[in-house]
A and B are shown apart, each in its own frame.
Chain A
Amino acid sequence: MKKGKVPLEPHVRKQLEDLGSVELLVGIPSYNNADTIGHVVRAAAAGLAKYFPGRSAVIVNSDGGSSDGTAEVVAKAELSSPGAILVSHPVSTVQKIVTPYHGIPGKGSAFRTVFAIAEELQAKACAVVDSDLRSVTPEWFELLLGPIVAQDFDYVAPMYLRHKYDGTITNSIVYPLTRALYGREVRQPIGGEFGFSGRLAAHYLARPVWETDVARFGIDIWMTTTAIADGFKVCEGFLGAKIHDPKDPGADLAAMLVQVVSAVFDLMETYEDRWKEVQGAEDVPLFGFPHEVGLEPVRVNVGRMIGIFRQGVRDLGEVWAQALDEKTLAEVSALGTEEEDSFHFPDRLWVRVIYDYALAYRRRALPREQLLRALVPLYLGRTASFVSQNMDSGAEAVEGSIRALADEFVREKGYLCERWE
């Protein structure tokens, strides 16, 4: 469906007509988040009132058909709590729009409705935040919207403080690969919270992706990559620690890996003309004040991870042979015999694995889902090695080793480019 064709409910259309236009918009996608969304809405309202007084603003809840009263919580949320904003002068009232989204069920479709409303209201700056956040504060909205309002940026990616072992798919695949491909240092490309300009929202809306997987999953990396690859001004905002509702403990790692990695690989095909030209990587401006906070400890079972990796070496050779280069496969297989104490998955080998996988994904060496599911033991092997290597390291040293991996991705990019054709 193309620009301007996003279906909106009649009552939403009426609200948009009444509002006319706004300067700022905060979008909150939701699905059964009644427990947490009230806090997110109040934080957004307080942030808008405190940091952008006098500017017209609207909070849009784009809901996927919640059955736990999420929409009612948003509708009843009190938006004018003076204690939260500590200002004595009158501020503009923040408006609320609660709307179901239409189309393929997923976060992407929810965002599409937010983009459409932003375009209708000619919003100058927008932010989207998850509805299950427990650590969101009014300052987040200053950091997500401020660089767009005051500095004319188009896209603000979040920067969080995380435990040194958290976010391993981001740290070992998405961040270093995105950085090497598109040449911009965006540390959390799939963070979940973003700020973007009205013109970027219109650009997103016009892209022909809303009937594809982007509508279901992968919207985060799609937004980041599109903003960078299409030449919009990108920066980062330091949001501190991110704490959200615990996810389903039974959530399947393989499914997660398939969704994230396939989204990144699909974008490699879309933007192949762009990333092939890029060399090196540049930092982007960071807004906010980086500080230390206490983080919950993370338990990791390294032995189990290495066990699954070894089993992969034993049983998945025929599958990996379809994806990996002969030399890469030989090096991976040799790791299968290493002792747990000395187990080490080198950066360069991991980069080759990911690049080989990108190439195999492109040539459809196997059905894509099978191919990516077979990446799990390799990923667990790499993660186990990372955890063992950084067991006694501080946050700064761990960040340094992640940066070293990212640099390796840049150095090895020629390997990918040579074989891409």
Chain B
Amino acid sequence: MSEVFDEVIRTTLVEVGARFQDFVPNLLAMLVLLTVGILAAVAIRFTVGLLLRWLAFDRFSEQTGIRTVLQKGGIRAAPSRVLALTLAWLALAVFVLLAVAALDLTAAVDLVNKAFAYLPNLLVAGALFLLGTIVSGFVRRSVLIAAVNAGVPSARLLARGAQAALLVLFAAMALEHLGLGRQVILSSFTILFGGVVFALALAFGLAGRDIAKETLERMRSQRRPEDDSLKHL
């Protein structure tokens, strides 16, 4: 009985050992790929950063308005740093996927294949979200300035409303690209947007009837030509 037991254990250990021996190169390859990936990312970050600074990319960004666009999206770091970091993270992501593939496990290979197939969608969604952030930030500021110049009392609220509407629109587009519950997102967006507009119209027309009247009268009086005949030029 004990011999049979020993045999089973020995066989199991031998098999595990053999499998581990087969797996070690893959594991080592994964670790090597991860290490190379980290080193490559660091190298890319520094090299690209240096190269962009040498090429005066930050000055170019200021002159062409790229920096302003980033600032409008809430990104305060220098454009050269942002680009270098983005490229470094992209490189690291690719190496991580390669490292996972190096394990040669069916599930891992499958995961990597799916990840690479899904990557374009992720990139497009990310780009859409970034664009949405930038555009909505720009629109918010434009609406705010225009509303203040026109003397609209709730300028900030109006500006934030415009920004939120755009953000929701871009987020819906991004999620659509990711294929996440397309119909649900579309329906949610339609219902939400329609509901908000309807609620605002009701609130302004019924609950805020007096305010609406007062605001419209004030706007009309501000436009009355006899009120101001100053020539600015």
Binding site for B on A (CB under 8 A): 165-170, 190, 247, 249-250, 253-254, 256-257, 260, 298-301, 304, 307-308, 311-312, 315-316, 319, 363-367, 370, 373-374, 376-377, 383
Contact = CB atoms under 8 A, between A and B. Distances in A.
A167 B148 contact: no
B227 A316 contact: no
A312 B225 CA distance: 23
Nearest to B151: A308
A315 B63 contact: no
Given A308-B149, A376-B149, A377-B149, A301 B156 contact: no
Contacts of A253: 149, 232
Nearest to B156: A315
A311 B151 contact: yes
Contact of B145 (A299, A316, A364): A316
A162 B138 CA distance: 40
Nearest to A363: B62
Contacts of A190: 233
Interface of B: 62-63, 65, 67-68, 71, 138, 141-142, 144-149, 151, 153, 155-156, 222-223, 225-233
B148 A168 contact: no
A316 B232 contact: no
B228 A304 contact: yes
A315 to B, nearest CB: 5
A364 B227 contact: no
Nearest to B154: A315
Contacts of B148: 308, 311-312, 315-316, 376-377
A377 B149 CA distance: 6
B156 A169 contact: no
Contact of A319 (B144, B151, B223): B144
Contacts of A316: 144-145, 148
A164 to B, nearest CB: 11
B146 A373 contact: yes
A312 B155 CA distance: 10
5 contacts: A169-B232, A190-B233, A299-B229, A300-B230, A319-B141
B225 to A, nearest CB: 5
Given A167-B233, A298-B230, A366-B71, 18 more contacts: A166-B230, A166-B231, A167-B231, A168-B232, A169-B232, A249-B225, A253-B232, A254-B146, A298-B229, A300-B229, A301-B228, A304-B222, A311-B148, A312-B148, A316-B144, A367-B68, A373-B145, A377-B149
Contacts of B146: 254, 373
A278 B20 CA distance: 82
A161 to B, nearest CB: 13
A188 to B, nearest CB: 10
A239 to B, nearest CB: 16
Nearest to B226: A299
Q: Which 4 A-B pairs have the closest CB atoms?
A: A376-B149, A169-B232, A166-B231, A299-B229
Contacts of A367: 65, 68, 138
Contact of B149 (A254, A300, A364, A383): A254
Contacts of B149: 253-254, 308, 373, 376-377
